[in-house]
Each structure stands twice: as C-alpha cells, then as structure tokens.
C-alpha cells in the first residue's frame, strides 16, 4: 500500500519510513463522513431531479464530505484503543461530524434570510446540524419553502444517521467498554449476554442496522398508506423522523400538516416502537415472539406513556376546559411524541389545540416529566431513560427503608434481579450529572439572554433530545427568536452532550484522558 509522506519532524510519522498517522478519532470520523457523503449524494440526486435549487450546494458538500472522509480514513489507522480514549473518540467524532454536516446549509444559504451575516448563518447551520445528528428536532429554520426537497431530505437524513449511530453506541460500543446502556439492560433482562445479540460487536451493529432499516421502511410504508398514498417523499421524510425519534419535518406544521388521525395514529405506534430497545425488536424478529412484555423496562415505559397521556387529557379537559375528543387526540400524540423524545407536533398553528404551551402549567409539567424520563435504553430515544428512572426509584425506596433500619443490608432489585452496587452508583452519578447540566445550562442560557421559562424548557429539551420546548420555543415556534447566537451554540452543544449520554463529551475535554496514568490510584475530593 502506498503511504503518504508525512514528515516525522511534526510528530506525525515515526522514523525514516512513511506511516499512517495513528488516530482512532480521525479514522472513525473519516468513516462517519464517508457515510454522510453517501447520504448527501442521494440527496443531491433527489434535488437535481426535483426542485433543483440547492443542487450545487449539495454536490459540493458531497464532494467535500467525501474527500474529507476519504482522506481521514486513508491517512489514519486506528490505534489500540484504551478505555479513556474511547470517550474522546466518540465525543470528537460527533463534534466533527456535526460541524461538517453543517456545510450543506451554509453553502445553500438556508439561513441567509433577512440580511443575516456569515456568523449567524454559520451558527444556525451548526445548530440545525447538531439538532439533526443528535435526533433532537429543534429548528432555527423559519422559511420551510426556501430549501429544496433534496436539502430538506438531507435534514431528515441527519437525524436518521444520528439515531442509528447512537443505537450502535449505546448497545454495541459502550457496553463493550463496560459503560452505560447494556449493563443496565443486562441487569434486568433475562439472558444478559444476548443483549449484545451476538458475541461480535460488529455483527451486533450490523444486525441493528438491519432492524433499523427495516423499521424505517415499514414506517414509511405505513405512513404512505395512512396518508392515502399521496406523497412518497413525505412518507419517507417522516419515517426517517419517527424511526430515529428525531422530530424534524419538512413542513412547518409538522404532522399537523396532514390533519389526519390515521397518520397521527401510525406515527404514535412507530414513535413508541422507536423509543423501545432495538435489541428487543431484533429478538422479536429473530424468535418470532414478543419479548417486549417480559421486559420490565418496556412495561414501565408503556405504563408511563399511558398514565401521562391520561393525566394530560384529564388536565386539558377538566382544568383547561378543552373539548374531550380533540383533547384525547392532541394529548396522546404530544405525550407520546415527547415521551419518546421524538418532538413531532400535531399543532396546526400557534394557539391551536395541539400547541401544548397553551394547555396550562399542570399539563406542561406532565410533559416536562416525560421529557426528562425519555425512552428505553438501547433505543434511539433520549432523556434519562426509563431503566435509569426505575433504578433511581428503587434507590429512593431503599433510602426509605434504610432510614428506618440504618444497619440493614438492602439490595436494589429490579424485578427478580439484583442490581450491582456499581451500576446503582453509576446511575446515581449519571442522574446527578444530568441534574447539574440542567442547572448549568439554565444559568448559561439565561445569562445569554434567554427567558427563564423558555430556557428551562430548551435546556431540558436539548439534553433529552426532544425538540420543542416550552414558552416561546414551543411546538409551533423556532429557536431563532428566543435565543441569541451564543445561546444557540450552547444548546447545540447540550444536544450532543445529551445524545451521547453526557460522559463522552465531558470526558473528551478532560486533559486527564490524554495522559498516561497508572490505573490504581487514590483520588481525593
């Protein structure tokens, strides 16, 4: 193989021979950008065949992403990856992919309305890209008619990439490192090793891709039929959104654009499935059974969705005095949409029944609770995750019992299984970090000029990858008006932090990660 002549004087090579630069981060980023480039190519073709407004921008972006990805992939080789480096790799890969993913918007001038300068356009592009890749679905796009169909499809595609990326991260990569989702799943579900689906992580990832692809195709077909076979484009665009629990829509009124109960019902079903573990879906397909009902997390997830939907409907009907039928429709859709961290809306406009910011504080609190909880572990959904909430609930109950009998040894149980103390303290630590990030994010966003209620909703929404927030950033509004440019950047960062479940981004910026240290040591706080 030909090796590029990289001078050792700058530290990129070693000795007299030319070698590839060893960097797992850049190598993985290269592969990621190549994948994005493939998606961009498809969108370029779509744009060229339909509206044709942004063809050049998309084509240039495709070439740029392809070259960048190819060069990074070719020039680098993955090194022996240590546990510490993995976080940095994951964190930086997402950041770099998000930045490159913003290029199509920038080149197409998507945010060049109203005399906005380069900086504003760049910030908006990064925000939109981060929102897409993190499957958040918040937007700063004001004019939905300006971008071409290809660019809008690229916008939908970013969230689809992000959804799959996170599934692989949560179920395939992070458990390999002993962190996060799978350990939680394995603590509860019977046959813990099968949650990796196969002994090989790459094979697991491949199978999850298959499930994800099939799931998306099924969603597209169902939406196409529910919409009366009217638009393949809309069906595919929204299927990408519900499968990834992203929440972007090519229409300003989101699902409300269709005004169809059938479409909303199909979206509800697929959003619920999108918020459930993809490992369970794989097992359901592979074994032709329904393992979902034996999974306590899934049962709790459904229970929460049902109870919160009922609470929202009751509050809308009894407290806000809204009519019962439309309240059921709007309440269930929005509760499921936010409970699965999708963020689609069935509001037809500001102040319409689906606009939940008009429902009163009680109903909004129920929705806020759902936003914090999020979906199941191993799914594309964001939030703290139902399994973690279960562990926290049991931890609290144990605190109650230990307050009465301080010397008792009380294990934490989920179902019949005892959760290890390490997992319990990790979950408690995660919850604490999430809580601190909400507080810190709120301080930053309000300091940057955000209104308090809107900022609270936006921070919770960004960290939980929901999409719409509260107040001025509700389901019928965009994030451009209520937030300044620095606040938008901060929210974009929070979206990625939330999507990667906090640790990778936090640890990616800790200098300690990049230093060689002895493993066993004492840290004093």
Partner 1 sequence: MRIVSWALASLIDAGLAVGVATLLCGLAGIGDDNADAFAFGVVGAACTALTAVARRRVAPPARPTAGRVFAGIGLLWTVLVLFGAAVYAGTGSLGRLDDALVESAAGFSTSAVTLLDAAEASRTVVLFRSATGWVGGLIAILIAVVTMPVVLRSTALIGYTTGRRGQDLVPNASTGIRRVLILYSGFTAACVAAYLLSGLGPTDALVVGLGTASTGGFTGRVDSLAGYGGGTHAVAAVGMLVAGAGIFVIWWIVRGRVSPLWRSQELRVFVLLLAVATAAIAIHRDIGWGEAGFMAVSMMSTTGFAVADWTGWGESAAVVLLVAAGIGTMLGSPGGGMKVMRARLLMGSAGGELRRQLDPYALILVRRDGETLTRRTLDRLGGHQVAFVVLVGSGAMLLGISGVSLLGSVWGAVSAVSTVGPAMGEIGAYGRLEGLGRPGRLALVPLMMGGRMSIPPLLAGVGLVLRWYRVAVRQSRFQSRLADRRHARSESGNDDG
Residues contributing to the site for partner 1 (CB under 8 A)? 83-84, 87, 178-179, 315, 319, 360-362, 364-366, 369, 392-393, 395-396, 398-407, 421, 424-426, 428-433, 435-436, 439, 442-443, 446-447, 449-453, 455-456, 470-471, 503, 506-507, 510, 512-513, 517, 519-525
Residue 307: CB minimum distance to partner 1, A: 13
| Three-class secondary structure of residue 500 per DSSP | coil
Task: Dump strand ranges (E) for 16-166.
Answer: 21-22, 76-77
Residue 410: CB minimum distance to partner 1, A: 10
- Report the residue number, 288 or 407, with the smaller CB distance to partner 1: 407
- Measured distance between the N- and C-terminal CA atoms of the chain, rounded to whole angstroms: 51
Residue 434: CB minimum distance to partner 1, A: 10
Residue 449: CB minimum distance to partner 1, A: 8
Residue 522: CB minimum distance to partner 1, A: 5
Are the beta carbons of 128 and 151 closer than 8 angstroms? no
- Report the residue number, 65 or 170, with the smaller CB distance to partner 1: 170
- Report the residue number, 183 or 234, with the smaller CB distance to partner 1: 183
Beta bridge pairs of residue 77: 22
Residue 50: CB minimum distance to partner 1, A: 42
- Report the residue number, 348 or 446, with the smaller CB distance to partner 1: 446
Q: What is the DSSP string of 55-93?
A: HHHHHHHHHHHHHHHHHHHHHEE--PPPHHHHHHHHHHH
Element at 265 (helix H, strand E): helix 261-274
Instruction: In whole angstroms, give the CA distance from residue 129 to residue 7.
Output: 35
Q: Which two tokens stand for residue 344?
A: 């689609």
Q: What is the DSSP string of 316-356?
A: IIIIS---HHHHHHHHHHHHHHHHTT-------STTSTT-G
Instruction: In whole angstroms, give the CA distance from residue 140 to residue 116.
Output: 13
- Report the residue number, 261 or 432, with the smaller CB distance to partner 1: 432
Residue 203: CB minimum distance to partner 1, A: 25
- Report the residue number, 67 or 447, with the smaller CB distance to partner 1: 447
- Report the residue number, 147 or 504, with the smaller CB distance to partner 1: 504
| Three-class secondary structure of residue 194 per DSSP | helix
Instruction: In whole angstroms, give the CA distance from residue 406 to residue 155.
Output: 54
């Amino acid at each position: 193989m030909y090796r590029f002549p990289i001078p050792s004087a700058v530290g990129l090579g070693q000795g007299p021979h030319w070698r590839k630069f060893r960097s797992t981060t850049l190598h993985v980023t290269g592969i990621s950008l190549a994948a994005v480039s493939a998606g961009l190519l498809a969108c370029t073709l779509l744009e060229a065949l339909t509206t044709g407004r942004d063809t050049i921008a998309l084509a240039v972006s495709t070439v740029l992403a392809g070259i960048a990805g190819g060069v990074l992939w070719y020039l680098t080789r993955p090194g022996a990856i240590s546990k510490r480096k993995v976080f940095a790799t994951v964190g930086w890969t997402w950041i770099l992919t998000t930045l490159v993913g913003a290029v199509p918007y920038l080149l197409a001038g998507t945010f060049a309305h109203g005399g906005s300068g380069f900086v504003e356009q760049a910030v908006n592009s990064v925000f939109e890209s981060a929102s897409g890749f993190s499957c958040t679905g918040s937007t700063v796009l004001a004019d939905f008619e300006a971008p071409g169909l290809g660019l809008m499809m690229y916008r939908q595609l970013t969230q689809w990439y992000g959804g799959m990326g996170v599934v692989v991260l949560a179920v395939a990569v992070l458990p390999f490192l002993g962190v996060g989702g799978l350990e939680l799943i394995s603590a509860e579900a019977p046959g813990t090793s099968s949650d990796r689906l196969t002994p090989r992580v790459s094979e697991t990832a491949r199978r999850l891709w298959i499930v994800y692809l099939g799931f998306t195709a099924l969603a597209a077909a169902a939406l196409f039929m529910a919409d009366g076979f009217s638009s393949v484009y809309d069906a595919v665009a929204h299927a990408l959104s519900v499968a990834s629990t992203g929440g972007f829509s090519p229409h300003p009124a989101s699902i409300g654009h269709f005004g169809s109960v059938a479409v909303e019902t199909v979206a509800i079903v697929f959003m619920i499935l999108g918020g459930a573990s993809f490992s369970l879906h794989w097992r359901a397909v592979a074994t032709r059974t329904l393992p979902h009902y034996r999974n306590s997390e899934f049962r709790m997830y459904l229970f929460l969705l049902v109870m919160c939907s009922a609470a929202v409907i009751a509050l809308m009907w009894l407290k806000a005095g809204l009519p019962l039928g439309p309240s059921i429709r709007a309440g269930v859709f929005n509760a499921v949409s936010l409970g699965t961290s999708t963020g689609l809306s069935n509001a037809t406009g500001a102040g319409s029944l689906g606009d939940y910011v008009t429902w009163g504080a009680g109903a909004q609190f129920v929705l806020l609770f759902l936003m914090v909880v999020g979906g199941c572990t191993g799914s594309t959904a964001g939030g703290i995750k139902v399994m973690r909430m279960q562990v926290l609930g049991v931890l609290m109950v144990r605190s109650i019992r230990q307050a009465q009998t301080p010397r008792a040894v009380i294990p934490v149980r989920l179902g019949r299984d005892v959760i290890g103390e390490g997992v319990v303290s990790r979950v408690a630590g995660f919850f604490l970090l999430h809580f601190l990030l909400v507080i810190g994010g709120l301080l930053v966003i309000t300091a940057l000029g955000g209104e308090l209620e809107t900022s609270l909703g936006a921070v919770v929404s960004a960290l939980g990858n929901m999409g719409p927030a509260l107040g001025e950033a509700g389901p019928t509004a965009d994030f451009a008006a209520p937030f300044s440019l620095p606040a938008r950047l901060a929210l974009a960062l929070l979206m990625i932090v939330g999507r990667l479940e906090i640790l990778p981004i936090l640890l990616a910026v800790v200098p300690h990660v990049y230093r060689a240290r002895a493993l066993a040591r004492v840290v004093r706080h």
